[in-house]
Structure 1
Amino acid sequence: MTDDQQPPLGVHPDPQPALVVDRDADAIHVERGVARLHVNNQTSWSNLSEELSNVDADQRIVCVVLDADPNVFDLISRCGQDDVQRLTDILTRLRQPVIVTIRGRCTADGVAVVLACSVIVASTSATIGGLNPPPVPFGSVDYARLKARLGTGKTNLLYLSGRTVRGAEAERIGLVDMVVPDDRIDRTVTELASEISERAKDACDIASTQTDVRRAPRTAGRTGQAQAPAVAAQPNQDTGATLSDPRRTVDWTTRLVEPGFTVLEHGAAVKVVFDRPEVLNAFDLDMTRAFQRIMEDLGADSTVRAVMLTGRGRAFSAGADLGDSFSAERRSGLADHLRRVTTPTILAIRQMPKPVVAAVNGPAVGVGCSFALASDIVIASESARFVLAFSKVGLSLDGGASATLVARAGFSTAMSLSLTGRPIVAQEALARGLIDEVVYADEFEAAAQDRLLALAAGPTRSYAATKRILNDSVFGTLTTLLDREAEQLAELVETADFDAAITAARSRERPRFVGFTDA
């Protein structure tokens, strides 16, 4: 770019070599595939929409940073509605995940624009709100997007009051994903974009899987809502159980033993124990098939009134056994296997006409985490961790997590955890709405048992009707999403990124992802 040329759309040279700052320049750096678009008060919003369309078509770019000057998202309301609508539509359809920064005020139409992005990072001085009053918002796409982040109550409050909230409160209620000091926002966003770009193709697949959610969300997440830390059941507390005292030993009898499983029962209550502690209860193909049979049989048995899933040893489940499930000779039939085995298993959990409790005793990783999230109630030991590590091996969400994660925690938490693959501890999972209860480790087994036995003595027909109604409300597209998950995984296991992840795992090294260069 010569001195007399102006960078398009305020796109500016950046000292970070990982950033694509001008896709037409000779000296561009595309090894990490991050496009940074700087938006100032002179930016033409129609031109920005055009440039974003060009970015979408550029296979080298896997992440976009929409970096705005202070108050830009306050001034956008002066633009025409057509320009605003076109911009939000393009952001919604964009193949790559979009990180947007908020500095200063972000109001009205500006909020609509940032809600169409994947990850929202705000400075501590930012203020967000000032939404258009009813009757305009209710039933609109903007209202639905905000509802997916905050839930109905807080969304209605912001619309009805027209109030604005500052950065820290916006993060607490889930309106934004991250708040950082003004002088650190550039570095933070650059590091986040670099992390996402290392996931390369997987980042785009996750973004595309969630496009329908960004466009017209169905669920109300509880992201960021403050919750009091859960306290373990104590001996003198009435926990609501009718069949057990937390200190009383219950005699469990063996109902069934399958490869990788021990199934125990006590009256109408059943515990399904993942039983491969030597590999942290990782699922191979045989174990996955056995799990399907077990869950379908329990669902059909009218004498069973409540089911618990838990793990033997120090882990709930380490997820899929990569060496077995994704061996070269089995990859070609992966989509078919997922449709015939994994999909029916998740549906068996969700459609079982009785409560399913996940008692997460330790790490729940990958599809192991998906099985927990598909359950009706998730109780975790304080030592539990939750890891949706699919992106770390070049894969996308599996086991219905594209639906259950959004339903439990909201879109923003779902996107953040999916792209980064970072582990979260039990208390953070509780605060984000991912799980329902955290119990001290020395009381965990008794408290989980207590909950299971109480449910087994409860109004089973009422539970069944409640599950059906909530499934229809929240998981109406679950079968479709499971099918899309299978298609994407079948494609991703054939990529160089997945091969690199498998090789790195065997050598205990960090994988070097190549992105779209193998396409």
Structure 2
Amino acid sequence: MSERYSDYQRLKFDRPSERVLRITMDNPGRLNSADSVMHGELVRVWRDIDTDPDISAVIICGAGEAFSSGGDLDLVEEMSKDFHTLTRVWKEARDLVYNLVNCSKPVVSAMDGPAVGAGLVAGLLADVSIASRNARIIDGHTRLGVAAGDHAAIVWPLLCGLAKAKYYLMMCEPVSGEEAERIGLISLVTEQEELHDRALEVAKKLAAGSPTAIRWTKYALNNWLRMAGPTFDTSLALEFMGFNGPDVQEGLKSLREKRKPDFDKDCPL
């Protein structure tokens, strides 16, 4: 594995096929929640991949039976109390979206179990998004007590339409893999046992294709997302403004109380 990936802690890397890099989000005991370390790594990894001459396609998945359970609640609590943490994570959230959108290599996501928060950014902004039938896609912002900004404001309306986007983002309702495919939120749905094989099959085809044609097709199509830049920046500001609002502490308390007894740590579901 290239030295450029050697200092990552929460992201694990392997090469399941020639010119294909697989990224596995791995935060044991927390359903791969994005703590401070993983959140920062999810920002910079797309720049490293963009400049890696040995990689033509990427897969992103989660370790075990979860894709990612979203922002780690310890990090969320710190954001609500410390201005410097809040502004750092705000910038990271912005850069995560733009770095992924602007990465020249095609990205395939393989979502299983909960897919929430920062992990879901990569799951839905991937060029080909694949989920198992039992995946639970949730935008958890309003349940926490902040606006559903971030990537959701730009990509959900484009993928599944404004009416569905409003319903799921405002209600914080989970979307199964099967329903996500039906409404156009994801590219493909598979059986759980076939998920990673299907993702690899797609990634191998992309890696074997014309890199120039695929790169510039992605660039052209992602102009729809770039055109929504002002909407994204406004939504992100509204979201992060909410971390200093009255509802976040209640949202944190509610989420901590609802954690499942077999979780080692909090899970924002």
TM range (shorter): 0.7 to 0.9
* Distance in structure 2 (CA, Å) of the matches to 1:300 and 1:428: 36
1:315 aligned residue (61, 66, 69): 66
Q: Corresponding residue for 2:233?
A: 483
* Distance in structure 1 (CA, Å) of the matches to 2:126 and 2:137: 14
Whether the 8 Å CA contact 1:362–1:384 is kept in 2: the answer is yes
Q: Corresponding residue for 2:49?
A: 298
SS in 2 for 1:301: coil
1:77-119 C-alpha deviation (Å, 9 max, x unpaired) = xxxxxxxxxxxxxxxxxxxxxxxxxxxxxxxxxxxxxxxxxxx
Shift of 1:410: 1.0
Alignment of 1:204-283 (within 5 A): 256=6, 258-265=8-15, 266-283=17-34
Q: Corresponding residue for 1:514?
A: none
Alignment of 1:102-117 (within 5 A): none
2:78 aligned residue (327, 346, 355): 327
Q: Which protein has the bigger helix share? A: 2
* Distance in structure 2 (CA, Å) of the matches to 1:490 and 1:457: 41
1:477-505 C-alpha deviation (Å, 9 max, x unpaired) = 34323322331122211112111111222
Pair 1:491–1:365, CA change in 2 (3 A): same
1:322-357 C-alpha deviation (Å, 9 max, x unpaired) = 222331675423553245312122111111112111
* Distance in structure 1 (CA, Å) of the matches to 2:231 and 2:190: 32
Q: Corresponding residue for 1:27?
A: none
Pair 1:485–1:389, CA change in 2 (3 A): same
1:285-306 C-alpha deviation (Å, 9 max, x unpaired) = 2211112121110012232111
Shift of 1:367: 2.9
Aligned letter for 1:484? Answer: T
Aligned letter for 2:244? Answer: E
SS in 2 for 1:364: strand
Alignment of 1:359-374 (within 5 A): 359-374=110-125
Whether the 8 Å CA contact 1:343–1:479 is kept in 2: the answer is no
Q: Corresponding residue for 2:251?
A: 501
Whether the 8 Å CA contact 1:386–1:424 is kept in 2: the answer is yes
Aligned letter for 2:258? Answer: R
Q: Corresponding residue for 1:356?
A: 107
* Distance in structure 1 (CA, Å) of the matches to 2:236 and 2:24: 26
Aligned residues: 257
1:419 aligned residue (153, 170, 181): 170
Whether the 8 Å CA contact 1:405–1:414 is kept in 2: the answer is yes
Alignment of 1:119-138 (within 5 A): none
Aligned letter for 2:236? Answer: A
Shift of 1:398: 4.0
1:243-282 C-alpha deviation (Å, 9 max, x unpaired) = xxxxxxxxx9996462211011242111111011310010
Structure 1: gaps of 5 or more residues: 1-251, 510-519
Aligned letter for 2:226? Answer: G
Whether the 8 Å CA contact 1:365–1:388 is kept in 2: the answer is yes
* Distance in structure 1 (CA, Å) of the matches to 2:108 and 2:81: 32
SS in 2 for 1:278: coil
Whether the 8 Å CA contact 1:310–1:359 is kept in 2: the answer is yes
* Distance in structure 1 (CA, Å) of the matches to 2:257 and 2:12: 33
Alignment of 1:142-161 (within 5 A): none
The answer to whether structure 1 residue 467 and structure 2 residue 218 are counterparts is yes
* Distance in structure 1 (CA, Å) of the matches to 2:128 and 2:136: 16
SS in 2 for 1:279: coil
Whether the 8 Å CA contact 2:79–2:243 is kept in 1: the answer is no
Aligned letter for 1:356? Answer: V
Give TM-score, length-normalised by structure 2: 0.88
Query: What is the percentage of aligned positions where both structures have the same residue?
Result: 24
Q: Corresponding residue for 1:199?
A: none
Alignment of 1:427-466 (within 5 A): 427-466=178-217
* Distance in structure 2 (CA, Å) of the matches to 1:267 and 1:381: 25
Q: Corresponding residue for 1:285?
A: 36
Aligned letter for 2:194? Answer: E
Pair 1:302–1:480, CA change in 2 (3 A): farther
Whether the 8 Å CA contact 2:149–2:238 is kept in 1: the answer is no
Shift of 1:370: 2.6
SS in 2 for 1:378: strand
Pair 1:475–1:329, CA change in 2 (3 A): closer
Aligned letter for 1:507? Answer: E
SS in 2 for 1:476: helix
Pair 1:329–1:382, CA change in 2 (3 A): closer
Whether the 8 Å CA contact 2:35–2:75 is kept in 1: the answer is yes
* Distance in structure 1 (CA, Å) of the matches to 2:134 and 2:254: 27
Pair 1:490–1:500, CA change in 2 (3 A): same
Aligned letter for 2:253? Answer: T
Give TM-score, length-normalised by structure 1: 0.47
Q: Corresponding residue for 1:402?
A: 153
Larger radius of gyration: 1
Pair 1:381–1:507, CA change in 2 (3 A): closer
1:342 aligned residue (93, 97, 101): 93
Whether the 8 Å CA contact 2:150–2:236 is kept in 1: the answer is no
Aligned letter for 1:434? Answer: L
| RMSD, matched Cα | 2.2
* Distance in structure 1 (CA, Å) of the matches to 2:130 and 2:123: 9
